[in-house]
Structure 1
Amino acid sequence: MSKTPRSRWGPVRSLLVLAPLFVAGPFYAYRAHYGLPEPIVELFDPVTSLPQVSEAQILAHAKYLSEDIGYRTVGSAEHAAGDAWVLQQAETLRGECEDLVRAHPERKLQCEVWHQQGSGSHRFDMMGRRLYKTYVNLTNIVVRLSDGTEEGKKDAVLVNSHVDSTLPSPGAADDAMPVGVMLESLRVLIHTPDWQPKHAVIFLFNNAEESLQDGSHLFTTQHPIAKTVRTVINLEAAGTTGPELLFQATSEQMIKAYAKVPRPYGSVIANEVFSSGIILSDTDFRQFQLYLNVTGLDMAVVGNSYLYHMRKDLVENLEPGVAQHMADNVHALLLHLTSSDSPLPELATTGYTKPQTVFYEHFGFFLVYSFTTAKILYTATFVLALIVARGTFVNPAPALKRGTSFLGEQIKGVVATSGAFVGAAVGVNVVALIMDKVLGKSFSWFTSVFAPVFLYGPAALSGALASQLIVGRVPEQTTFSSIMVVQSFLGALIQLLGVGAGGTLFVSSYPLIPALVLNAVLTSPGDDISLWSYAIGQVTPLVTGSTLLFSVVDVFVPLTGRVGEEAPSEFIIANIVGVICSYILPLTVPFVQRFSRRILIRLVIFMSMVTGVAMAVFCMRSPFDAMHQKRLYVIHMENITSAEQHLHVAGADGAPGFHTLAADIAKEFSVPGVTPTTVVMDDWNSDWDTIYPFSAFLTPYKFDLPLRPEHQDPLDPDFKITAINDKVDEVAGTRSFTLVVTHPGIIWT
């Protein structure tokens, strides 16, 4: 018995039915992505009386370092004050530890503190440049907790943060908060009655990370216990909100250890992006890999990195729960790594090797599996997708006409879906070109990481829909199954090439298999695909894609404010939105193919109008505000020999208005009648050597300043030029003499 044909719903009714899914999916992803624990205030649990990690205590430490002491640039008085304060905290905790051990002599716990001091030099390669660093009388604070035996000390986990900060940032997040996390972890471990470490844990409060990792170099190359380190947990911050991101994980053992934390947040994609060098940044983690050949985890708070290395990096701008999230995860890691189940003895023999492990969070589960498992799983999914596509294939030709082959239909579907992807890319790049080059309104999205979605999302959808007008009619069933086959194939191919990011396409393709099987059960051949199938097929792309979008824009939108004027920031952000939106809504093509060409034209016109309205709205926005500031670099330089003065001003982004600002500064401060022009920024521009090699990102101006009044006085009467040893050789026709210059001060000859 054949099934009763169903009446076709229009696009509006169909979208209204699916609307709850399109709202619930991103909302769930948002809550899961940005969710933070409730901050804990009490130092001890009021019920169990056991010590607990307290965010309030962490922030108190961070506030003292960042605001009571202030910015701690290496070599400054504030830097020395920070070093002395952390040393005092470490000594206090050691005293508490010794008191507890005396009170309970059966407890196997030893606490040791070192105030390391040393000098050294090292080569530092960054941004394609080679630098040689030298440091003198640098200090570190080192604390080790162990069971007091040589066996317990031979394999250790190292936790690292840095006490210094960079000018002009107070460094509440970077890196005073991680320092507070480590101090709290020390306190809780020491005061936990039944905690006895099977393996040692070393806390390194290094004093010079911002000066290109001198502190970690000093420890790794000169401290006597450095050779006992088997793995590293590095704590950093490039932002002030959201959970800390695991962006480097260098062994399968440590990834599995990280899976045991209460709130894991990281993926193989972040790991591969950072290790690829796309993001020109680095941490102390490099020194531990380079000089100790150890594996580990590199974690950092990255949300709201607009405040990274800025004056507003204050405790008041740290989101509640950020410190608690990091501290809970670090504490759980230390409990595991110092237990009898620790992988430290195994890591002692393996050292640093590139991990062959896929890891990511999926609907509340932190999944970890090997590359081998991934290759088998993704390939099997591709084969199953082919079987389902063939088994559910419906010949679109009428019964009395010659049909087309399955392969031929799949090729049509691939062309249609590929065309939509290309169309989305064209759409966002056209809008980016207009905003940047025609209207001069680039960076209009900069003040919110989500703003680019509202500007370039409609453009991506407009381009994808317009492409289907060119491709023409392709059966809905064909495009649906083609997406399943293409995504599963690409997921398997990328994984076979040794790139773990192929898992992203795997998790979006596998739900399409049951979706097509269900459609075969619910509908008759030739019917529209069931909306239930769309719902099943869209759930994972909506949730996973939204999570991916949040992670990427959190990093890259603020990053455009410090990558230089020459970087095509508008096009970078536009293409990020275009690609991820294509991933989030993969079933757009089959959905529009179920309707007539007339409806498709209306949809294209409507989305084009939405795109135009979005552009108009964004043209009225300012790129910067009080909490999303432009980075302006200023140097006032005086030549004490020539008395010349110059004002150097530079920007590090491509937002409009900087050159006008430079002209206004010149008008106000420079000598009259001088037209400001940019100077060449290359390796030979010594004016900006203080921030080399980051100076490569700058667009600098150099202004002549009027001479100071004291430099405009007549020449000092003591200034004399005389000649002595004056000899004339009339035969040779030569004269020789010695000039004697008497100059009141410094002179360059």
Structure 2
Amino acid sequence: MVRTRRQWGPVRSLLALLPLLVGVPWLAVKHQYSLPTPIVDQYDPITSLPQLSEATILEYAKYLSEDIGYRTPGTREHAIADAWMTEKAYQLKEECERVVATQPGRKLQCEVWRQEGNGSHRFDMMSARLYKRYVNLSNIIIRLSDGTEQGKADAVLVNSHLDSTLPSPGAADDALAVGVMIECVRVLVNTPGWEPKHAVVFLFNNAEESLQDGSHLFSTQHPIASTIRAVVNLEAAGTTGPELLFQATSQEMIEAYAHVPRPYGTIFANEIFSSGVLLSDTDFRQFEYYLNVTGLDMAVVGNSYMYHMRGDLVENIEAGVAQHMADNTFALIKHLASPASPLPGLASGYARPRTVFFAYLGQFFVYSFRTAEVLYSLLFIASCVLIKTAGGTTSRGATMVKAVFVVTVGALGALIGANAVAFVMQRMLGRGMSWFKGEFEPLILYGPAAMCGALLTQLPFTRVPERALLHAQLLSHAFLAAAGQLAGVGSSAIFFLSAVSMFVALVVDRVVTYLSTPNVDGARMMSGTGNMQSGVAKGLEDGNEKVDKDGFVSLWTYALGQVIPLLTGTQLSAATLVVFVPLTGRFGSEAPAEYIIASIVAIVGSYTLSLATPFAHRFGPTALRKAVIVLLLGVGATMAVFARKDVFDRSHQKRLFVLHKEDLNTGEQHLHIAAADGAPGFDDLVHDITTRFGVDGVPPKAVVMDNWNSDWDTLYPFSAFLSPYKIDLPLDPAYDAPWPPEEQFTVSAVNDTIDESKGTRSMTLRIDHPGIMWTVIAFDAQVLEWTLDNSPPEEFARHHIKEASFYGTDVWTVDMTIKWPSPQNMHPKSSDVGGLKVDFIGIQEKRMWPAKKADADGSQAMKLFREFDAWLDEKTGGSVDALLMGCVSGQAVV
């Protein structure tokens, strides 16, 4: 008989696998976050050829975000940025004409437009219906072409936005992309001999943050909009890491992306974004809807703690980020403008992609759904054959059914274990979001909990053979890959990759077992295979030696089988947590952020360590019980550590929304405070604010947030995420609101007629708002028709209309016909006041902190904000970033 060496124990086995368990994730993360070396010079010092300069890009970003500052649509700073970009565009045109003049015969034409216009559009978001109105907004457009009509017929649009949002200077979002586009124009123009076969249109739109008004203006009113065949949209929701391709809407554009030098995108990110799970949107929406074009949506997403915060500054943009965005954008432009471009074929429309794509260790893989269906199905069939021919009890149907059940229970156990810890942290200890300060901290808190939950579920099943469990994992992943792909889920590729790794490992295990086992004649045997080989069991049947097909497998099987799950899972974990962890800071206090993050860790962790369940059965029930005890102790220790952690700090701040609101009807002034997260401590902070700034003895009032809470209409519909309080402010007896008649914020009805026979009322609502921006009106009515769109709701409903216009614009109107008088079955919060009751609110352009810090007008709001901001910084140690806005509001019955 053949006697095997004793199998290594769990500690020695884990130590043997440790280089793999550490090295593979390190390799994955290294490739995931690798960035190019930033280039400083605009021209290569050796070849004298133009090159994309990160230093130049960041100079533009810094000028826009810090020298000009907060460029919110409607502000003076926004107008300054518009003038700067217009001048820069014409400078580029002059440079282009000068270069072309020195290169006779070169086919290159540069054209510039400054578009200006009015418009309106419907913008549904977060299950809310919203209407936008804008007046005198502008865009700056540069077109590069070969100068012929044919060359201009099919164009690619490259887009970024010049504006920033209310509380942010917007260095990354989106001044970075503006700088990238300017540099791309410069390098293309100065590249000797470059001639575009197809036109490239660079759109510097001026109002993305006011809900995509600039891109709507271009798409619906610019004369060259009809020539656009595809879009490359450049965005930022963070300041570090490579630019992520998170939306691709056709196979042609996915294949175009394959030409970039540093691809970073997967169908997984594409499908997550398309599902609507992430409540985010970009200008791409307007181009897709109004121009019916395909394209690529790309954004910097790392360190999105800075997204729409004061910290969105150039100093926080990681070195290499601008270079990565510029290099990839430039490569896309060159390909799409070349004779090999797919643009002409997109003139007749495009089909949604049925294409699997993903970047893997710097390589970009693309193949069709049909290819995926065939590959994944063949792998599933091959896996079934491998299992069927395994021999021993593993090949028995009953054993495999039980094994599949056991590994499934293990995955569910991981999910339950992580969420159980989430429940304790949030509900029992009151320490939710304790992991917020680091994208990977949830792995430390919930990783051991998930593993403990998975192993706990294995205790009743210790008699299931190890090899059967390995086969069950293979079968499960191969089935999920094939079934998911046949259902049209391209992200099933992640299960295909892991199944390939397991399949190869088990085939190698089969070969090693075969070669190391004597045949029935005793003629063949491999000896000395050592501790890394599979064991050979002893047994006698009819006088011959017998191999136990369910015996232990080699550690090499685990090493081979875990390589791809470790690589893929690490990349998946990094990409997912980098997005979702900071996002919990704006989910809203009612969102189950703790359980979302715990579930992500459990699901992705179960995939990453796919073979943990069979490995746990390798050493018997005693070792399994000891592992559970050790993990339980580890879970307790990590919970104790995280329970003592502060949720926020200066680099990972809490978002606080603060409105100083003056009611024009009553003269009252209130401070409205809200948060968009469920972290502990907010209620205490509100009470401290009330004690310091509110009326003595008057407690803060918690306010119900719904469609009829007009206090927060400036942020509608995002306001649904907020948990607001209202604080009474003491009034200065000497204060007299400086509102001369010519500066009144009013809502009135003109051209007002009632048709009693038809039961209708037609009017023009006129909103006068001198010195006030981002005005919002809300009213209850059954609108029959209006100038906003052709399909108002066919019922009595609440309507919100938001405005964003160019600096100095102080009037906007809406024509409409409503059912009159109002129906009797009104909403309970509506009231019949003998006319149309309109709630209105707006932001005073000179009363935003810190945007207007340098030229504060001495108003009560700005005096309060100055004191409030300093007090808050000292009180919280800089862990809170407050958006401070001075607003005026009122009600009008028209």
Aligned to 1:454: 444
Q: Is the 8 A contact 1:162 1:206 kept in 2?
A: yes
Aligned to 2:632: 608
SS in 1 for 2:21: helix
Aligned to 1:425: 415
Letter in 2 for 1:604: V
Aligned to 2:674: 650
Aligned to 2:590: 566
1:463 aligns with 2:453: yes
SS in 2 for 1:235: strand
SS in 2 for 1:395: helix
Aligned to 1:8: 7
Cα deviation 1:195-241 (Å, max 9, x = unaligned)? 11100000000000001100001101111100000000000000000
1:354 aligns with 2:344: no
SS in 2 for 1:160: strand
**1:4 Cα deviation after fit:** 4.8
SS in 2 for 1:663: helix
Aligned to 1:384: 382
Q: After superposition, where does 1:48-87 map in structure 2 within 5 Å? A: 48-87=47-86
SS in 2 for 1:631: strand
Query: Distance in 1 between the 2:24 and 2:358 partners?
Result: 18
Query: Distance in 2 between the 1:703 and 1:674 partners?
Result: 8
1:533 aligns with 2:557: yes
Q: Is the 8 A contact 2:32 2:361 kept in 1?
A: no
Cα deviation 1:153-211 (Å, max 9, x = unaligned)? 00000000000001120000000000000000000000000211100000000000001
Q: Is the 8 A contact 1:643 1:707 kept in 2?
A: no
Percent of counterpart pairs with the same letter? Answer: 59
Aligned to 1:694: 718
Q: After superposition, where does 1:406-555 map in structure 2 within 5 Å? A: 406-523=396-513, 524=536, 525-555=549-579
**1:674 Cα deviation after fit:** 2.3
Query: Distance in 2 between the 1:78 and 1:471 partners?
Result: 67
Query: Distance in 1 between the 2:661 and 2:275 partners?
Result: 38
Cα deviation 1:62-96 (Å, max 9, x = unaligned)? 00000000010101110011011111111111101
Query: Distance in 2 between the 1:240 and 1:252 partners?
Result: 29
Query: Distance in 2 between the 1:622 and 1:356 partners?
Result: 45
Aligned to 2:545: none
SS in 2 for 1:510: helix
Query: Distance in 2 between the 1:580 and 1:748 partners?
Result: 54
Cα deviation 1:276-313 (Å, max 9, x = unaligned)? 11111110001101111000000000100000000010
Letter in 1 for 2:355: T
Q: After superposition, where does 1:143-154 map in structure 2 within 5 Å? A: 143-154=142-153
Gaps of at least 5 residues in structure 1 are: 397-404, 714-745
Query: Distance in 2 between the 1:363 and 1:104 partners?
Result: 42
SS in 1 for 2:203: strand
**1:711 Cα deviation after fit:** 5.4
Q: After superposition, where does 1:321-332 map in structure 2 within 5 Å? A: 321-332=320-331
Q: Is the 8 A contact 1:643 1:711 kept in 2?
A: no
SS in 1 for 2:387: helix
Query: Distance in 2 between the 1:427 and 1:419 partners?
Result: 12
Cα deviation 1:227-285 (Å, max 9, x = unaligned)? 00000000000000000110100000000010110000011011111111111111000
Q: Is the 8 A contact 2:467 2:551 kept in 1?
A: no
Query: Distance in 1 between the 2:583 and 2:420 partners?
Result: 22
Number of residue pairs matched by the alignment: 707
Q: Is the 8 A contact 1:488 1:509 kept in 2?
A: yes
Query: Distance in 2 between the 1:216 and 1:267 partners?
Result: 26
Aligned to 1:217: 216
Letter in 1 for 2:346: L
Q: Is the 8 A contact 2:466 2:550 kept in 1?
A: no
**1:393 Cα deviation after fit:** 3.4
Q: Is the 8 A contact 1:5 1:527 kept in 2?
A: no
Aligned to 2:247: 248
Letter in 1 for 2:662: E
Aligned to 1:310: 309
**1:712 Cα deviation after fit:** 10
Aligned to 1:634: 658
**1:671 Cα deviation after fit:** 1.9
SS in 2 for 1:381: helix
Query: Distance in 2 between the 1:365 and 1:161 partners?
Result: 27
Q: Is the 8 A contact 1:140 1:205 kept in 2?
A: yes
1:598 aligns with 2:622: yes
**1:358 Cα deviation after fit:** 0.6
Query: Distance in 2 between the 1:494 and 1:256 partners?
Result: 23
Query: Distance in 2 between the 1:702 and 1:675 partners?
Result: 9
Alpha-carbon distance change, 522 to 637 in structure 1, aligned in 2, over 3 angstroms: same
Letter in 2 for 1:246: L
Letter in 2 for 1:549: S
Alpha-carbon distance change, 292 to 149 in structure 1, aligned in 2, over 3 angstroms: same
SS in 1 for 2:120: strand
Query: Distance in 1 between the 2:154 and 2:328 partners?
Result: 21
Aligned to 2:186: 187
Query: Distance in 2 between the 1:378 and 1:748 partners?
Result: 64
1:133 aligns with 2:132: yes
Aligned to 1:37: 36
Aligned to 1:18: 17
Q: Is the 8 A contact 1:679 1:702 kept in 2?
A: yes
Letter in 1 for 2:94: G
Alpha-carbon distance change, 712 to 92 in structure 1, aligned in 2, over 3 angstroms: closer
Cα deviation 1:590-611 (Å, max 9, x = unaligned)? 1111112111110000011011
**1:5 Cα deviation after fit:** 2.1
Query: Distance in 2 between the 1:293 and 1:446 partners?
Result: 39
Gaps of at least 5 residues in structure 2 are: 514-535, 537-548, 738-889
Aligned to 2:703: 679
Q: After superposition, where does 1:662-673 map in structure 2 within 5 Å? A: 662-673=686-697
Aligned to 2:366: 368
Aligned to 1:157: 156
Aligned to 1:399: none
1:290 aligns with 2:298: no
Query: Distance in 1 between the 2:362 and 2:160 partners?
Result: 29
Q: Is the 8 A contact 2:263 2:362 kept in 1?
A: no
Alpha-carbon distance change, 642 to 618 in structure 1, aligned in 2, over 3 angstroms: same
Query: Distance in 2 between the 1:608 and 1:569 partners?
Result: 24
Aligned to 1:708: 732
Cα RMSD (Å)? 1.5
Q: After superposition, where does 1:104-119 map in structure 2 within 5 Å? A: 104-119=103-118
SS in 2 for 1:683: coil
SS in 2 for 1:447: coil
**TM-score (norm. length: structure 2):** 0.78
Q: Is the 8 A contact 1:415 1:471 kept in 2?
A: no
Q: Is the 8 A contact 2:485 2:492 kept in 1?
A: yes
Q: Is the 8 A contact 1:636 1:647 kept in 2?
A: yes
1:624 aligns with 2:648: yes
SS in 1 for 2:114: strand
Cα deviation 1:317-349 (Å, max 9, x = unaligned)? 000000000000000001111111000111112
Cα deviation 1:523-565 (Å, max 9, x = unaligned)? 3434311111110000000010000000000000000000100
Query: Distance in 2 between the 1:747 and 1:248 partners?
Result: 42
**TM-score (norm. length: structure 1):** 0.93
Query: Distance in 2 between the 1:278 and 1:213 partners?
Result: 20
SS in 1 for 2:246: strand
Q: Is the 8 A contact 2:436 2:648 kept in 1?
A: yes
Aligned to 1:660: 684
SS in 1 for 2:654: coil
Alpha-carbon distance change, 490 to 117 in structure 1, aligned in 2, over 3 angstroms: same
